[in-house]
Amino acid sequence: MHSTFTGLAGAHRFTLLASAAAFVITTPAVAMAQDQEPELEAPESSNQIIVTASKREQTLQETPISVSVTSGEVIEQAQIRDVLDLQTLTPSLRVSQLQTSSASTFIIRGFGNGDNNFGVEPSVGVFIDGVFRSRSAGALGDLNNIQRIEVLNGPQSTLFGKNASAGVISIITREPQFEFGGSVEASYGNFNNIFVRGDVTGPITDNIAFSLDGTYQNRDGTSEIVNLGVDQNDRNRWSTRGQLLIEPTADFRIRAIADFSRIDEICCQVGTVVAGPTAPALNLLGGQLQGFDNFFDRTANLNTVPVNEVDNYGGSIQMDYSTGPLSFTSITAYRELDNFFRSDIDYSGADIAIEQRDQGVKTFTQELRIASDFDGPINFLLGGFYFDEKITQESQIENGDQIRDFFEILAGGNPADVLSGAPSVFNGVEAALGLPQESIFLTPLLTNENFQMDNTAWSVFGTVDFEPFDGLTLTGGFNYTDDKKDFALSQNSFDPLGQVNLVDAFITRFLTGGAVTTRDQFLALPQAQQDALAAAALNPAVNPFLGLAPFQFQPPFLAIPNAVEDGRTRDDKFTYLLRAAYQVSNEVNAYFSYATGFKASSVNLSRDSRPLGTDFVAGPGNSTFLAPNSPIIGAGIATPNLVSGTRFAGPEEAEVYEIGIKGQWPGIGFNLAVFDQTIQGFQSFAFTGTGFALRNAGEQSVKGFEFDATIQPTDGLVFTFAMTHLDPLFDSFTGSVVGDLSGQRPAGIPAWAISTSATYTHEWDSGTKLITRLDYNHESNTDINNGLPTFNAALGNTEIFRREVNLVNGAVTLALNSGIEVGVWGRNLLDDEYILTVFDGVAQSGTVSGYPNQPRTYGGLVRFRF
C-alpha cells in the first residue's frame, strides 16, 4: 500500500505539462568560474551566453561541459531570493532545507549530502566569487548584485580543489565598475514580507573602483506554533558586501571582497504525517501532535520557540596578472561561520527534550593558477589549491520536565499514578538496579558533547588542450588531492539507566549475588556456567529488565582518540579527465568525455559516532561480559552498552561518461547531454529515529540526459525549456538503515524534472518596457525515501510516502525610461502542496513526522536604477 501526498497533480498537472511541452528554451547552461575576469557581453541581437566552465571564457555553445547558467537579470525578474529558489530554474539541481535555517543539502543528478552534520562535507562544491564554501550554511544568504549563477553537472574534480564529486555551484557577483551607478529595490508581500536590497558602484580614482551592496528581509512565519501563539518559518536576515577593484596597470588587477550575513529565524515547522501509538501518552501530558489530521494546515505544538542564528563572514583577495600569452591568478580567502540552534526535538507541546548546538567553522583557502593562450595547437592550465579548516561543536540534549512521565507511561505505568506523582515503574527499576530514587530521566541534561575536527588538504590540478586540426580539441586533465582530518569527540551521558547494561547487571546482581562484576571474572567461570548465566540473562521470561532497553537512548560514549582509535583519516587520490570536442559547423558543437571525481572521508561529528566493527563487536544484548575479543575489549576501554557503527565514512569515488551536442542559430539554441555516472562509496547519512547513521553505500549510479533550449520567435518574446531525466540505481548498498537496498531505485530522485518559462518584453519608442514572465517547475511523482527504519520496518517497508511538484511562478515589471520600475510577483501561484521529506518521530515509535513545502507567496516591488 502506498500513502501518497502530492501537489496539484490532477487537473492542473496535464495542463501544465502540455504547456511545458510547447516551450523550448534553455535553462541557462553554464560553466563554472572560479576566476572573476570581466564577463564578455554578447551583442544584444545575439542569444549567446559567455561562460567560464573550463576557467577560460567561451560561449556556452563552445563549452564541452553539461552546465546551466542563470543570469542576474533572470534572478531579478523571477524573484529568486536565495539558492533554495534557484532549483525551480535548474532541473538537475535540488536544494532542501529541513531541520534548521542552516541545514540544507545541494543535490545534482541525485547525488548530494551533508545537511545536518558539519563533519560530512557536501558532495556538491559551492563557490562564491571563486571562494569555496565548505558547508551549505555558508551559502544560504539572500542573493544580491548577482552577475550569474553557474551549475556544473557531474564530477568536476579536475579543476576544483575539493569536494566536487557530484558537481559544482558557482555564484558570481558583479564586480565594481568605473562608472557610477546602482539600484535600490523595496518589495512587500503577503505574510508581511519586507525585502529591501540595494547596490552602488563607481570610481574612487582612475584605477580604483568600489561597490557596496546589501539586503534586508523580514517576514512573518508561514506556519504557527499554536500553543505558544508564535509564528514559525519566518524570515529575518540581512547581508552586506563591499568590494574594491584595483587596476594598477592594464595587465594587473586586484579584486578585494569582504562580506557579512546574519540569519536569526524561527525554523523549521514539522507536521505529523502519522500519529503512532505514543500519541495518547503525549496527549495525556498536553503535548498534542499537530498535522496528522490536516498536514498542510501548517501548525505545530512545541514547548519552546526554536532558535536559529547563523553568522557568516569573511574576505578574499583575487589577483590577476597577464604577460604575453600567460596569465596568473591567485585567490586568497579566510572565512568564519557561526551556527547556533536550539529546538524542541520531540515536536510536541509536551516538555520532553530540547537539543542545542553551537558550531563554529574557520576556513583558510589559497588557490594559484597559470594559464596559457598560445596561437599554436597546445594550451594549458596548471593550478594548486590549499585548504585549512577547524570545526568546533558544543552541544547538548536537555531533559524536559515531562520526559520521565512520558517514558513511565510508555513503560506501562498507570497514567493516573504517573500524573499524580505516585511511585511507578521507574521507582521500582531504580530500587532493583541500585540506582538513586527519582534519578532516571531526571538529570538536567541527557548528554553534552564537545567535538572538533581539523582538516588540511592540498591539490595540484591542470588541463592540456591539443588542437591537431581546425575544429577538433583533445583535452587531458588531472587532479591529485591529499586530505588529512584529525578529530576528537567526547561526551558525557548523564542518565543513570543508560549507564547500566541490563544483561551484565542481571548476571551481577541477581544471578551471582554480586560475585561476578567484571568480564574477566565472568570468563573465569566454567564454560557451562557461563552458558547457563547467559541463557538466563538473555531470556525475557527470566530477566524482566530487558524490556527497558528501548529507554537507554544515550549510553556512555567512548571518546576518541583512545588507545585503539587514533581519530584520523588520511586520503589521497589521482583523478583525471579525457575529452574530445569537435566543432561540426559554425552552429553545432559536439563532445565526448570521461571523468573521475573524488571526495575525501567524512567524519560523524555527532553523539551517534561508534567504533568500527573491526575494533569492537558487542555481545548479545550489548553485553560486555558476552562480547567477543576485540581491540577495544583488549585495551579495557569498553563502556556499558557500547555498540559498533562508524566514526567516519570512507571516500567517494565518482566516474562519468558523457556525450553532448550544442547548437546555436539566430533565435534558437539547444544543449543536450547524455550521461552514465557512478559513485563508489557514496556517503549516506540517515536519521534512525534516535540518531544518525553515517555509512558508505557500495555503489550508486545514474543514467540520464539533460536537455535545454531557447527560442526567440520574435523580438521581445523568449521561451525556455529544460528537462532532466534520471534513472538511478543502488548497484550495491547492503548496509543501509532499512536493510539491503541493492538493486533498488534510490528514493527522492524524480525520474523527470522540467523547468520552462516564457518572457515577453514590450518596449515603447520612449524606452519604457513592460516585462512579463511566467515559469513552471515540475518534478514527477517519486518516493520520498526508501523507507523509515522504525515506521516502515514494522510494516515490511510496504508504506512509502511520495511527492510530486508542480510550481507556477510569475512576475510583471514596468520599467520606465527614468530608471523607476514597478512590478508584481508571485511564487507557487497555484498553492501546490507537497511533503519535502519524512522521518521517524523522535523517540516515538510508529510516528512519522515531515516538513511541508512553502505556500503561495506574492507581492509588489518598486526599484530605481541610477
By the 10 Å C-beta count (0-12 exposed, 13-18 middle, 19+ buried), 727 is classed as: middle
pLDDT confidence of residue 52 = 61
Distances (CA, A) of 96 to 144, 284, 301: 21, 35, 23
Residue 842 pLDDT level (bands cut at 50, 70, 90): confident
Residue 31 has pLDDT above 70, yes or no: no
Asked if 655 and 39 count as a contact pair (C-beta separation under 8 A), the reply is no
Average pLDDT over residues 532-540: 97
pLDDT in tens, 723-732: 999 999 999 9
Q: Which residues of 147-158 are buried (b: 16+ CB within 10 A; e: fewer)?
A: bbbbbbbbbbbb
pLDDT in tens, 745-773: 999 999 999 999 999 999 999 999 999 99
End-to-end CA distance of the chain: 60
Higher-confidence residue of 69 and 314: namely: 314
Residue 652 has pLDDT above 80, yes or no: yes
Average pLDDT over residues 528-538: 97
Average pLDDT over residues 595-620: 94
Taking each helix axis as running N to C, give the angle between helix 403-410 and helix 425-433, from 0 to 180 degrees, rounded to the nearest 10. Answer: 90
Distances (CA, A) of 766 to 814, 817, 823, 862: 13, 7, 19, 20
Average pLDDT over residues 149-153: 91
Phi, psi of 551 (to 5 degrees): -95, 5
Average pLDDT over residues 839-847: 88
Q: What is the DSSP letter of 29?
A: B
Asked if 762 and 815 count as a contact pair (C-beta separation under 8 A), the reply is no
Residue 692 pLDDT level (bands cut at 50, 70, 90): confident
Distance of CA 461 to the CA centre of its chain: 26
Distances (CA, A) of 220 to 195, 825, 835: 12, 18, 21
Average pLDDT over residues 70-85: 88
Higher-confidence residue of 798 and 395: namely: 395
Asked if 13 and 779 count as a contact pair (C-beta separation under 8 A), the reply is no
Average pLDDT over residues 278-286: 90
Residue 16 has pLDDT above 70, yes or no: no
- The cell numbers describing 495, all together, are 542518565
Residue 24 has pLDDT above 90, yes or no: no
Residue 18 pLDDT level (bands cut at 50, 70, 90): very low
pLDDT in tens, 787-838: 888 887 777 767 889 999 999 999 999 999 999 999 999 999 999 999 999 9
Give the largest Cα separation in the chain, rounded: 102
By the 10 Å C-beta count (0-12 exposed, 13-18 middle, 19+ buried), 420 is classed as: exposed
Asked if 675 and 704 count as a contact pair (C-beta separation under 8 A), the reply is yes
Q: Which residues pair with 318 in a beta bridge?
A: 255, 331
Quick one: what percent of the chain has pLDDT higher than 90? 74
pLDDT confidence of residue 8 = 39
pLDDT confidence of residue 27 = 36
Average pLDDT over residues 122-140: 89
Could you give the CA distance from residue 185 to residue 76 in angstroms, rounded to a whole number? 10
Average pLDDT over residues 552-576: 96
Residue 843 pLDDT level (bands cut at 50, 70, 90): confident
**Degrees to nearest 5, angle at CA 313 with 309 and 316:** 165
Average pLDDT over residues 20-46: 37
Asked if 127 and 59 count as a contact pair (C-beta separation under 8 A), the reply is no
Residue 38 has pLDDT above 90, yes or no: no
Which helix (DSSP H) or strand (DSSP E) does residue 837 occupy?
strand 835-840
pLDDT confidence of residue 42 = 37
Lowest mean pLDDT among 68-82, 590-604, 616-630, 709-723: 68-82
Helices (H) and strands (E) in the chain, counts: 12, 42
Residue 51 pLDDT level (bands cut at 50, 70, 90): low
Residue 439 has pLDDT above 90, yes or no: yes
pLDDT confidence of residue 505 = 97
Could you give the CA distance from residue 100 to residue 79 in angstroms, rounded to a whole number? 23
Phi, psi of 295 (to 5 degrees): -60, -35
Rounded to the nearest integer, the mean pLDDT of the chain is 90
Residue 22 has pLDDT above 80, yes or no: no
Higher-confidence residue of 455 and 106: namely: 455
pTM listed for this prediction = 0.90
